[in-house]
């Protein structure tokens, strides 16, 4: 869900005519606060249940989900912006409504 939030905002900014670096900066600035709140809330809830559960399987599953929340948050915040910039051409070609203008480098 975190990646969907950021990539959707990126595509919206590209469709509005922003260059790819500017679109990534805007997408990151607007998405990171929501991603942090959601991921840290999920981490706290699952980690807390994992600590207090007396059932071994439940405790292990909750701890694994807590780690997954932190890993996915870090990946989306640190890796996804670079991937969006590197794969911008593919995003433009594969998204309906976004067309790359060869002369300007901006979306039409």
User: Percent of the chain at pLDDT above 70?
Assistant: 91
29 in Cβ contact with 102 (< 8 Å): no
Domain-located, residue 102: no
Count of structural domains, the chain: 1
Determine the structural domain holding residue 27 and report its residue range: 2-94
At 68-103, the pLDDT tens digits run 999 999 999 999 999 999 999 998 888 887 775 433
Q: Please work out, in degrees rounded to the nearest 5, the angle formed at the alpha carbon of residue 19 by the alpha carbons of 74 and 28.
A: 20
Q: Which residue has the higher pLDDT, 75 or 1?
A: 75
Residue 21 lies in a domain: yes
Answer yes or no: are the C-beta atoms of 92 and 99 closer than 8 Å: yes
Confidence bin at 106 (pLDDT 50/70/90): low
Asked, for residue 103, whether it belongs to a domain, the answer is: no
């Amino acid at each position: 869900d975190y990646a969907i939030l950021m990539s959707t905002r990126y595509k919206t900014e590209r469709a509005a005519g922003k260059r790819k670096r500017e679109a990534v900066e805007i997408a990151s600035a607007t998405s990171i606060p929501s991603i942090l709140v959601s991921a840290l809330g999920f981490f706290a809830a699952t980690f807390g249940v994992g600590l207090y559960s007396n059932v071994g399987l439940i405790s292990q599953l909750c701890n694994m989900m807590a780690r997954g929340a932190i890993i996915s948050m870090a990946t989306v915040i640190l890796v996804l912006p670079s991937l969006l910039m590197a794969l911008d051409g593919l995003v433009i070609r594969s998204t309906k409504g976004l067309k790359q203008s060869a002369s300007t480098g901006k979306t039409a």
